[in-house]
Amino acid sequence: MNFDFSLIISSIPQLLEGLGLTFQLWIFSGIFGLLLAIVLMLMRISGKWYLSAPAMVYIYIFRGTPILVQLFIIYHGLPQVEFIRESFLWVVLREPFGCGILALTLNTGAYVSEILRGGVKGVPKGLGEAGAALGLSKMHRFIYITTPLAVRLAIPAYSNDVISLMKSTALVSTITLLDMMGIARVIVSETYAPYEIFISLMIIYLVITWATQKAFALFERRMSRHIIQ
């Protein structure tokens, strides 16, 4: 067996051509997913059954099924549904990129909403009471007391999900997209050198993960400077 070290290095530039797509998927899904998560979380804690029940069902479904299945339902399955084909959504859902973003967004939204909810629940009850005793309205309490603290509490778990999301982008290689993973699989099929190419790719992903973790650690330190938890 020939182990070609040089191939590991030389394949990196080619793999990095997919970086742009990887990042696009990561960032767009991350942002949309976060917005979705905020909405879901607010629905969950609203106390009104007609809001919290649908949110709970949604979260249950999207956390209880594999993301690959969700991706395939959207990419392979939705074209079968006539209603989708004839709607304005078709422009987006026709393309694998749109499907990828949708699947990743819907999935990360479910996970992050639970993370945010955990943050909200983690804010000590006494602080809300102090705010109430001072005459602050429910909304004021939520905006000025609960939210700043909930965000800080959620940062560690959220950073884990951000990294998870980045790893999940590799799945779009199964629906023909040429992100880094997609390019890697193409190269492997041409060179028959899976070890070298995949190890190369792994190094790239590890670097991205490491950088992300460092960035979040710095962010968390800044935000929680004066707050002993």
Partner 1 sequence: MSLANTAPKTVISLQDVDKYFGEFHALRKINLTVAKGERIVICGPSGSGKSTLIRCINRLEEHNSGKIIVDGHELTDQVKDIDAVRREVGMVFQNFNLFPHLTIVENLMLAPRLVRKTAKAEARKHAMTLLERVRIPEQADKYPSQLSGGQQQRVAIARALCMNPAIMLFDEPTSALDPEMINEVLEVMTDLAKEGMTMICVTHEMGFARSVADTVVFMDAGEIVERNTPEEFFKNPQEERTQKFLKQILSH
Partner 2 sequence: MESLTGWWDDFFWGSLVVVQVFFVSLVLMVFFGLLGSAAKLSNSKALQKIANGYTIVFRGTPEILILLLFYFGSAITLTAIVNVFDPSIKFVDIDPFWAGSIAIGLIVGAYATETFRGAFLGVDPGQIEASRALGISNFNTFVYIRIPAMWRLALPPFGNHMLSLIKDTALISVIGLQETMFVAEQATANTGEPFVMYLAVGIIYLSFSTIITLTVMGYEKYGNKHLEVGK
Give least dist CB 11 to partner 1, A: 47
Q: Which is nearer to partner 1, 137 or 189 (CB)?
A: 137
Give least dist CB 43 to partner 2, A: 21
Q: Which is nearer to partner 2, 43 or 208 (CB)?
A: 208
Give least dist CB 67 to partner 2, A: 7
Q: Which of 119, 165, 174, 162 is nearest to 142 (CA)?
A: 119
CA 137/CA 122 separation, integer angstroms? 20
**Binding flag, residue 124, partner 1 (CB under 8 A):** yes
Q: Which is nearer to partner 1, 117 or 141 (CB)?
A: 141
CA 132/CA 137 separation, integer angstroms? 7
Beta strands in the chain (DSSP E): none
Longest dimension (CA), the chain: 75
Mark 74-113 with x for binding to partner 1 (rule: CB under 8 A) and - for no binding: ----------------------------------------
Length of the chain: 229
Q: From the list 148, 191, 215, 219, which residue makes contact with partner 1 (rule: CB under 8 A)?
A: 148
CA 156/CA 229 separation, integer angstroms? 13
Which 8-state DSSP code applies to residue 144? I
End-to-end CA distance of the chain: 54
**Binding flag, residue 219, partner 1 (CB under 8 A):** no
Query: Considering CB distances under 5 to 8 angstroms, the limit depending on partner class, which of partner 2, partner 1, none binds residue 174?
Result: partner 2
Structure tokens that stand for 192 in this block: 């028959």
H helices of the chain, in order, are 5-10, 12-16, 19-45, 49-64, 67-72, 82-85, 90-93, 96-122, 125-133, 138-141, 147-168, 180-191, 194-223
**Binding flag, residue 46, partner 1 (CB under 8 A):** no
CA 55/CA 107 separation, integer angstroms? 13
Give least dist CB 150 to partner 1, A: 11
CA 29/CA 35 separation, integer angstroms? 10
Query: Considering CB distances under 5 to 8 angstroms, the limit depending on partner class, which of partner 2, partner 1, none binds residue 129?
Result: partner 1
**Binding flag, residue 107, partner 2 (CB under 8 A):** no
Q: Which of 72, 103, 78, 104 is nearest to 91 (CA)?
A: 78
User: Interaction with partner 2 in 22-61: which residues (CB under 8 A)?
Assistant: 61
Q: From the list 64, 91, 126, 222, which residue makes contact with partner 1 (rule: CB under 8 A)?
A: 126
What residues line the site for partner 2 (CB under 8 A)? 1, 61, 63-70, 72-73, 76-81, 163, 167-171, 173-174, 181, 184-185, 188, 194-195, 198-199, 201-202, 205-206, 209-210
Residues that bind partner 1 (CB under 8 A): 124, 126-127, 129-137, 140, 144-145, 148-149, 152, 226-228
